[in-house]
Structure 1
Amino acid sequence: MPAQNILLFGASGLIGRYVTDALRARGFNAIGIARQFLPAQKVSALDLELPVMAMDAAALAQLLRTHAVDMVVNCLGVLQDGPGSDTQAVHRDFVARLLDAIRASGRAIRLVHVSIPGTADQDRTAFSTTKREAERLIAASGIAYAILRPGFVIAPAAYGGSAMLRALAALPVDLPPSEAATPFQPAAAEDISATIAWLAGRDVADESVHAVTWDLMQPQPVTLGGVIGQFRWSFGTAKDFRITPPVFLIDLGAKLGDLASRLGWMPPLRTTAIAELRRGVAGDPAAWMAATGIVPKTMAQAVGARPATIQDKWFARLFLIKALIIASLVLFWVASGFIALVVSYDAAAGILTAHHFPPALVGPITVLTSLMDMSIGVLIAFRRTAAVGLIAGILAALGYMIGSAILTPDLWIEPLGALVKTGPAIVLMLVALLMLDNR
């Protein structure tokens, strides 16, 4: 019988969130599972927060029985290994436990697994090799399955690579010709959800879709430059002047992105992202189109169906600038503290002495404020503590301004205007605080 209850893992992600909401809109009882939902994402009592990666096969089987699940959709995925991200654990090991759970549940369940286009001989990164290992486990499992390999996903929301391409379209930056010519066939999020809904309408015993692997994307060839060009048309930036950075700067940016990921950030520009981008996105959607009757939306239809709003434009323009803002604030606080403590200690202490601070307090105050500044910079550098660091930075800057107004008001009119510039620094920290969300 057709699926009534659908359990979806990764329901807080770009694809998972869209598919969960779309299935519910079609009348399916879609249970969204994620490690954590943002308050804005948790729109239903069927959105459940569970420690999925810590659940063994028995716990997963019990989850399937409890919700009388007929179909499981797996949208879990991480781009690169790092703090809190393990490609092997997420892509392969979880799938292995999920297959055991489906077999142990005692229910007839179809697994729909969202993977990536391409073939094993093209896989060069841990991301792609572990995705392919999961496909092989599923194909050998004997259960009913559908492996979906969407192209570059276009959805109303943007995250990771899709956000980066929007940023490139909005900013005066162009890709080198070698990158721009990479094949990059897109897939509309609506077509992914329509495919999963179509599978949910098929009996699990239907032999025609018992074990299928489909590429989901528009059949017309498109390049990466063409995808960005379509977004430029949407943003109204198609005729803007652009500069093309050399390839080595892109590689350097990816290395810096790897470093940022070690601090808990999830930048779209990392070595894995660049490697996968250069490999390209290509496939043959003929089998999928013939089986389902779905005519995939083209890039122009997917992007042009909804004109870019001011929210879209602001996000695209600020997306890559966010990293620059965070990096500059880290450097500002660490450097200011280091300079006062090491390079210009006598000058920093001399300011307090000149304003009649008790000599016994000059040294301790200079050292403590310098260490505080550097600590604020370190807090901002780590994603987990960035919000605390930014709030501390705002409070510290306000404290400096108020203290100076009371104790050393003449510093407000000193030639370089150091205290006057503190106001814009506070505003920049407030902007960074408001931009911390990734989803």
Structure 2
Amino acid sequence: MNQRTILVLGASGLIGRFVTDDLRARGFRVVGLARSLSPAQTMSALDIELPILSRDAAALTRLLSEHAVDIVVNCLGVLQDGPGSDTHAVHRDFVARLLQAIADSGRVIRLVHISIPGTAEADRTAFATTKREAERLIAASDIPHAILRPGFVVAPSAYGGSALLRALAAFPLDLPAAEMATPFQPVAVEDIAATIAWLTVRDIDDPSVQAVTWDLMQSEPITMAGVIKQFRHAFGTAGWPRMAMPSFMLDLGAKIGDLASTLGWMPPMRSTAVAELRRGVTGDPSAWIAATGLVPRTLMAVIGRHSATIQDKWFARLFLIKALIVASLVVFWLVSGFIALLVSYRAAAGILIAHGFPSALVDPITIGTSLMDMSIGVLIAFRRTAAIGLAAGIVASLGYMFGAAVLTPDLWIEPLGALVKTGPAIVLMLVALLMLDNR
């Protein structure tokens, strides 16, 4: 039984990565597939980078046959439409092609599909409605399937919303009272992996698991405040005084997050995230528990087993600061170049003239360095080019410091200490560069 081959789609994500590693530890042959994998995630020759969403049904059929797949676990999902993210393409259109590929493969394959809890009547976002459309496509097919609807997933890793809740636990800050009171039933990622392992060893012809839809979450009701409280106990911040942000700040943060997403970033606070947060996370896990015999871990059992480590605390404290660091560096480079080029051009050029630069070079150097500064700011603003921009900013700053030391050493002792302050700016850019990874 353990020789069955499992294909995990979305093997770089929170659920997909854990499931891939967990199933391998249980002895299964697992092919982990994702559009991109970090070097740390490429643990096996069976970890594959492939732009799977661009593949048609025929290509997917060949993939299933090539790896002799018995189980497909679909963990693919995007929160919100944006550059490189299309909820309809990922949740609905791809699932339709995957179902066709499974049907055409000539193999008996079980599909395990990761969806979201809730009811269609409560779906308001493109994220939720397209997830539900995928469920309907799967339910209408003749393919053996299990639709798993996990609650708020608690895992050793932290991406997106789970990282945001950790950050809130590490700061003396609460979401608005209404949001803190929303139901938020959690599930341990270990329970998701255990469920998939349980399904994998079931006989494909077992009528009890031919077509099931299960809510995966702890039975005990809990609110978002209760989830954050458990994290605060782990972080040692439970006794801190708290300040609740007003609702308009949450909405403003979502709009800023939407803007950042157009630049390629994936902030946890976006319009869809806030809308889903306000809906809450609820479900009925009784059918899942009865069928599998699994006893879901409680939140206290998952988080309260150990106090937070220093790396947990650093991550939680720096998670929200990362956005502030990147934004401040973008503003720093754009504004410094703008001021030198348009506001204080004569003063900037005068520094070069006062230090004996040939007049023919003054304007090109002043204009060129100003445009370079602004270009660095633009590069940092876009996620795809942020690393290049930060590296360029560090090189440019070192160049300014070295050039000033050779050509205008008196600037090092000017009262405002502009060149002296370049050193901490370099360090901040280095910190941002080291924090760019999301996974």
The reply on whether 1:321 has 2:321 as its aligned counterpart is yes
CA distance in 1, matches of 2:416, 2:243: 34
Within-5 A mapping of 1:254-403: 254-403=254-403
Task: Give the Cα–Cα distance (whole angstroms) in 2 for the partners of residues 296 and 3 of structure 1.
Answer: 27
* 1:58 corresponding residue in structure 2: 58
Contact 1:3 1:201 in 2 (8 A): no
Q: What corresponds to 1:427 in structure 2?
A: 427
1:299-333 deviation digits (Å, cap 9, x = unpaired): 11111224311111100100110000000000000
For residues 2 and 363 of structure 1, the distance between their equivalents in structure 2, rounded to whole angstroms, comes to 72
Q: Name the structure 2 match of 1:201.
A: 201
Q: Report the CA distance between 1:94 and its aligned residue.
A: 0.7
Greater shift in the superposed pair: 126-135 or 59-68: 59-68
State the partner residue of 2:143.
143
Deviations 1:237-268 (A, max 9, x none): 11123322211111111101111110011110
User: What is the rounded CA distance, in whole Å, between the counterparts of 1:2 and 1:159 in structure 2?
Assistant: 30
TM-score, normalised by the number of residues in structure 1: 0.99
Deviations 1:384-432 (A, max 9, x none): 1101100110011111111111111111111111111100000000000
Quick one: distance in 1 between partners of 2:308 and 2:157? 12
Which is worse superposed, 47-56 or 301-310? 301-310
Correspondence list, 1:123-272, <5 A: 123-272=123-272
Runs of 4+ in 1 over 3 A off after TM superposition: none
Q: What does residue 23 of structure 2 align with?
A: 23
Q: Which residue of 2 aligns with 1:109?
A: 109
Check whether the contact 2:2–2:29 (CA below 8 A) recurs between aligned residues: no
CA distance in 2, matches of 1:361, 1:51: 49
**1:123 Cα deviation (Å)?**
0.5
Tell me, yes or no, if the aligned pair for 1:116 and 1:150 is still in contact at 8 Å: yes
Compute the displacement of 1:2 (Å). Answer: 7.8
Give, in whole Å, the separation in 2 of the partners of 1:137 and 1:103. 13
Contact 1:3-1:203 within 8 A present in 2 as well: no
Aligned-residue offset at 1:68: 1.5
- Would the aligned equivalents of 2:175 and 2:250 in 1 still touch at CA under 8 Å? no
2:8–2:74 Cα contact (<8 Å) kept: yes
Distance 1:68 1:385 in 2: 39
Alpha-carbon distance between aligned partners in 1 of 2:44 and 2:290, rounded to the nearest angstrom: 35
Q: 1:23, CA displacement in angstroms?
A: 0.6
C-alpha separation in 1, matches of 2:8 and 2:205: 21
What's the C-alpha RMSD, in Å, of the aligned pairs? 1.0
Where does structure 1 lack aligned partners over 5 or more consecutive residues?
none
**Structure 1 contact 336–370 (Cα < 8 Å) conserved:** yes
Q: CA deviation at 1:93?
A: 0.6
Deviates more, 1:56-65 or 1:285-294: 56-65
Shift of 1:109: 0.9
Tell me if structure 2 keeps the 8 A contact 1:2–1:204: no
Partner letter of residue 400 of structure 1?
Y
Distance in 2, matches of 1:101 and 1:3, equals 22
> Contact 2:2/2:27 (CA < 8 Å) preserved in 1?
no
Q: Which amino acid is 1:285 matched to?
A: P
Determine if contact 1:219/1:285 at 8 Å carries over to the other structure: yes
Q: Secondary structure at the match of 2:174?
A: coil
* Stretch moving more, 385-394 or 55-64: 55-64
Secondary structure class of the residue paired with 2:322: helix
8 Å contact from structure 2 (residues 261, 267) kept in 1: yes
Distance 1:434 1:67 in 2: 37
C-alpha distance in structure 2 between counterparts of 1:241 and 1:362, whole Å: 56
Deviation at 1:69, TM superposition (A): 1.2
Percentage of matched positions with identical amino acids? 75
Deviation of the 1:13 alpha carbon: 0.6
Gaps of 5+ in 2: none
Give the Cα separation in 2 of the matches to 1:383 and 1:349.
Answer: 33
Shift of 1:352: 1.1
Partner of 1:412: 412
Quick check: 1:146–1:213 contact (8 Å CA) kept in 2? Answer: yes
Deviations 1:168-226 (A, max 9, x none): 11112111111100000000000000000000111110001111000000000010111
Query: TM-score, with normalisation over the residues of structure 2?
Result: 0.99
Contact 1:188–1:296 under 8 Å retained in 2: yes
Equivalent position of 2:46 in the other structure? 46
User: Matches of 1:304 and 1:432 in 2, distance apart?
Assistant: 31
Is the CA contact (8 Å cut-off) linking 1:231 and 1:303 kept in structure 2? yes
2:305 & 2:151 partners in 1: Cα distance? 19
Q: Is the 8 A contact 1:169 1:237 kept in 2?
A: yes
Q: CA deviation at 1:3?
A: 7.2
Q: Distance in 2 between matches of 1:316 and 1:263?
A: 24
